[in-house]
Amino acid sequence: MATMKAIHPHLTSITLASTNKLPKIQANQETAINIRPHRKTSNPANRLAESLSHLLHLHVGEPTQKSLQYSTNWNAHVEEKHNTPVMSPKEDISEKWPEIHGSYEWDNLLDPLHPWLRQEIKHNTPVMSPKEDISEKWTEIHGSYEWDNLLDPLHPWLRQEIVKYGEFAQATYDAFDFDSFSEYCGSCKYNRHRLFDKLGLDKHGYNVTKYIYAMSHINLPRWFERSHLGETWSKDSNSMGFVAVSDDEESSRIGRRDIVVAWRGTVAPSEWYEDFQRELEPIGHGEAKVEHGFLSLYKSKSESTRYNKCSASEQVMREVKRLLQFYKARGEEVSLTITGHSLGGALALVNAYEAATSLPGLHVNVISFGAPRVGNIAFRDELHQMGVKTLRVVVKQDLVPRMPGFIFNESLQRFDDITGTLDWVYTHVGAELKLDVRSSPYLKHRFNVLGFHMLETYLHLVDGFHSTASTIRSDAKRDIVLVNKACNMLVDELRIPHSWYQEANKGLVCNAHGRWVKPKRDSEDIPSPTSEEHDHVLGMMHENYGELEPLLCV
């Protein structure tokens, strides 16, 4: 799923906006909070949105309340501790803090936005929860017990890991060149050595070792970015993700050497239904089948191309095997974590199937965000039998996880024995962490197909999620401004521009003659199949002795 509406012109938000704009908050508003439950009468636009949501089974109403207790068999571990948000010295909210933090679902505090609540939003400044040493429990965090008792309520260690992998998936968008007037449209803006540093992700302690390129032999005009220029870096391929590996410090914290594969999504939610009226295609040697378009992206190659003489499948598996061989030779425990959003989440599952098939015994884990269904029931069952652990993060208002098979598949799940042989029946894989847009007071709750599907919306909700019985946690760390990077999901009273993420002056620079021009890329950031192959043959710098390891490709 392509983000960046500002730098990806064909993405258009499909929304049903309220006919009544939020009233402006008066500067002198100092009234006490009315804590009596009260519901406002919905206007015609809201009733229309509710009707559509019922038609689409989106359930955009208030989250179901149920009594849950935080349960875990990790008796030695406690909930993470956070610093208390800084309070304004002008307001004493001590008597009303439960209401401000959602004890009445922020009833009568959002429209108009109460100044005390606004004050809390502005002062909740930390952007990252403290890192914990999870080395003794990493297998449970990565699904060895199917995340039993860790999802509802969400264990803070698991939450931290989900956000980390989600930010890797977001990086595939943030560094992608969506500019159709750029000669490098469809490539990554930075070389792999600078990627995490440029995006502020070096805090996670991973290093990118290889970029992944993909093409397709079927007509998928919406799934790839094309340059309008005649001479471009590639006419056939797009950058579709990367392989990274944890450094020594991070590996010590998480209990093993972690190889990560992050896949990029590309298409808008409104395009999924049209694009996915395709047949299932066999994968492997059994009855497992996956959607034809996904497999084409993953397997397509051509000798006439510069970047896809090898398929995305061959590129990623060759690099994973190389890294696995290197770290196994050093006596280290190694895991493979595959992540992606939207289309990227689908490719992550196909990738996991191949990895588990060709590398038996390797711990393979998938953490996906807003991913569609990928294959049939046999595909699901084979992944389970091979030990692949899959955690799907889903916003229940998001349409994409309901596709393919928008109407029929959910209701047919109970008839596995009958539907397992039908080519048009898809099913999801693994455990599900379901989020609700309505749980956050910072998000607009009106119908917004694009906003519901954006990865930054997902990451905001994950970071704030405690349980289905509660609203967003008051000590959530992630910057809420990020939600509006490529959509319009934040309430207007926060005064955050929508779709604000773009290069300064949309990438134009003023040259020495005072002319505004497209800049030339630094030579080190220009994609080159020669340098990619050179990096692959040379391998990596030996981390203990600082010497180059002469590792050969598999």
The closest alpha carbon to 125, from 170, 93, 82, 92, belongs to 82
Confidence of residue 218 (pLDDT cuts 50, 70, 90): confident
The closest alpha carbon to 168, from 344, 286, 315, belongs to 344
Q: Could you give the CA distance from residue 465 to residue 156 in angstroms, rounded to a whole number?
A: 10
Of 80-89, 469-478, 482-491, 530-539, which gets the smallest average pLDDT? 80-89
Architecture per CATH, 135-480? 3-Layer(aba) Sandwich (3.40)
- Strand ranges for 455-548 from DSSP E: 509-510, 516-517
pLDDT at 73 over 80: no
Number of helical H runs and strand E runs in the chain: 17, 11
The closest alpha carbon to 11, from 223, 235, 229, 232, belongs to 223
pLDDT reported for residue 405? 66
Rg (CA), the chain: 24
More confident residue, 27 or 361: 361
- Strand ranges for 215-325 from DSSP E: 238-246, 257-263, 280-282, 289-291
Q: Could you give the CA distance from residue 532 to residue 89 in angstroms, rounded to a whole number?
A: 56
pLDDT reported for residue 231? 74
pLDDT reported for residue 544? 40
SS3 call for 42: coil
Q: Which residues contact 363 (CB under 8 A, 6 or more apart)?
A: 139, 142, 256, 334, 335, 336, 387, 389
Of 37-41, 104-108, 303-307, 400-404, which gets the smallest average pLDDT? 37-41
pLDDT reported for residue 103? 74
Q: Could you give the CA distance from residue 109 to residue 154 in angstroms, rounded to a whole number?
A: 27
pLDDT reported for residue 217? 78
- Strand ranges for 92-222 from DSSP E: 206-214
25 DSSP assignment: P
Residue ranges covered by each domain of the chain: 11-122, 135-480
Cα 76 → chain centroid: 31
Q: Could you give the CA distance from residue 206 to residue 419 in angstroms, rounded to a whole number?
A: 42
Tens of pLDDT along 91-133?
Answer: 777 677 777 777 777 777 877 777 777 666 655 555 566 688 9
286 DSSP assignment: S
Of 164-173, 335-344, 361-370, 535-544, which gets the smallest average pLDDT? 535-544
Q: What is the mean pLDDT of the chain?
A: 78
Confidence of residue 523 (pLDDT cuts 50, 70, 90): confident
pLDDT at 16 over 50: no
Confidence of residue 499 (pLDDT cuts 50, 70, 90): very high
Active site residues: 342, 398, 453
Provide the phi-psi class of 7: left if phi over 0, else alpha when psi is between -120 and 50, else beta. Answer: alpha
Q: Furthest-apart CA pair in the chain: how many Å?
A: 72
Place of tokens 């711990």: 363
Of 179-183, 316-320, 342-346, which gets the smallest average pLDDT? 179-183
Q: Which residues contact 425 (CB under 8 A, 6 or more apart)?
A: 376, 377, 405, 408, 409, 412, 419
Beta-carbon neighbour count of residue 530 at 10 Å?
Answer: 8
Beta-carbon neighbour count of residue 266 at 10 Å?
Answer: 26
Place of tokens 């309505």: 438
Q: Which residues contact 171 (CB under 8 A, 6 or more apart)?
A: 195, 196, 199, 201, 242, 262
Tens of pLDDT along 270-280?
Answer: 555 555 556 88
pLDDT above 90 covers what percent of the chain? 50
* Mean pLDDT within 412-422: 52
Confidence of residue 34 (pLDDT cuts 50, 70, 90): very low
The closest alpha carbon to 267, from 212, 341, 215, 211, belongs to 341
Tens of pLDDT along 219-262?
Answer: 665 667 777 776 788 888 899 999 999 999 999 999 999 999 99
Q: Specify which residues 338 forms β-bridges with.
A: 261, 366
Measure CA of the first residue to CA of the last residue in the chain; give whole Å: 32
Amino acid at 186: G
Q: Could you give the CA distance from residue 391 to residue 367 in angstroms, rounded to a whole number?
A: 5
Confidence of residue 509 (pLDDT cuts 50, 70, 90): confident
28 DSSP assignment: T
Of 126-130, 164-168, 336-340, which gets the smallest average pLDDT? 126-130
| Burial (0-12, 13-18, 19+ Cβ within 10 Å), 19 | exposed
pLDDT at 309 over 60: yes
pLDDT reported for residue 322? 97
| Burial (0-12, 13-18, 19+ Cβ within 10 Å), 253 | middle
Helix, strand, coil in percent for the chain, rounding step 5: 30, 15, 55
pLDDT above 70 covers what percent of the chain? 69
pLDDT reported for residue 120? 67
Tens of pLDDT along 144-163?
Answer: 999 999 999 999 999 999 99
pLDDT reported for residue 288? 94
Give the pTM: 0.76
More confident residue, 53 or 472: 472
The closest alpha carbon to 53, from 395, 289, 353, belongs to 395
